[in-house]
Amino acid sequence: MSLKDTVMVFYTPDSLRDWSLEINYLSKPADTILVSKIRRPSVDSFKLLQARSPSIEIAPGFPVELTFNHPVGQIDTSKILFIDDTTRQPATYKMDTSNTLHIVTFECRCTEQQTYSLTLLPGAILDFKGMGTDTLKLKIKGLNSLTAGTLMLEIDNLDSMNRYIITLKQDDRDIVSSTIEGIPGFQKTYNFLNPSAYTLEIVEDKNRNGRWNGGDYTTKNLPEKILLKKNISVRANWELREQITWIK
């Protein structure tokens, strides 16, 4: 979950004139931005930003994020090859673009320490303008459980009348998120975590819109409560117990 307040607008430069972007707040016009026509369209190829890291470790339940420099438009699975390097047979996988414009999430039930070959042929993934990438080849490896850690989380004193969004983060990246309501406590075990420092974010989602909301002076609404537990240190081949009490 991102708490940033920046909005990026992507559009195809097919207009021969300036045009207006209207911003509404609470269903009422709040501002208008004049967007100038693009006089010299730049040619920026569609590419995978992680191309410098051709080998990726993956754990069950933790998708790998493939980040592109343009918003993703379409995925053609007929041009995607995912092969088990031992059997040379196709392996099952799942791809999704529902969360972030620039990111395709890739998930598989990969066997520990087993390697797989992921090939994205031209046209497999297109950006919002219909531009494709060159052939991309990545190595996927099932994460070794002995090199990973486990976090056993327990949260108490929650208000069973409210909804909460609980997100485990690494740096600024969301690892896994859970939405709960109707219960006074929450327990979850996070397996196969890479050794690192993590942050746990708990948001009291009072208006049930799936994200944190700041205060509003005009409606006298206070900001939704948020709790951040930082520097949760997960070590390899180790179980860490973390207990958090929500302050009402």
CATH number of the domain where residue 93 is located: 2.60.40.1220
Q: Compute how many other C-beta atoms are within 10 angstroms of the C-beta atom of residue 62.
A: 20
Considering the domain architecture, whether residues 205 and 161 belong to the same structural domain is answered as yes
Q: Is the pLDDT of residue 99 over 90?
A: no
Q: pLDDT by residue (tens digit) across 177-191?
A: 999 999 999 999 999
Q: What CATH code is carried by the domain that includes residue 173?
A: 2.60.40.10
Q: 98, 114, 143: which is the final residue of a domain? A: 143
pLDDT band of residue 2 (cuts 50, 70, 90) is: very low
Count of domains observed in the chain: 2
167 and 235 share one domain: yes
Residues of the chain with pLDDT > 70: what percent? 88
Residues 106 and 152 in one domain: no
CB 151 within 8 A of CB 192: no
Res 42: pLDDT: 61
Nearest-angstrom CA–CA distance, 122 and 126: 9
pLDDT at residue 53, rounded to an integer: 56
Q: Domain end: 87, 113, 143, which one?
A: 143
Read off the pLDDT of residues 44-58 as tens digits, 9 standing for 90 and up: 788 888 655 567 888
Concatenated DSSP letters of the chain: ------------S--SS-EEEEEEETTEEEEEEEEPP-SS-------BTTTT--EEEEBTTBPEEEEBSS-EEEE-GGGEEEEETTT-SB---EEE-SS-TTEEEEE--PPBT-EEEEEE-TTSEEETTS-B---EEEEEEEPPGGG-EEEEEEEE---TTSEEEEEEEETTEEEEEEEEES-S-EEEEEEEEPSEEEEEEEEE-TT-SSS----BTTTTBPPPPEEEEEEEEE-TT-EEEEEEE---
Q: Where a domain ends, among 143, 171, 187?
A: 143
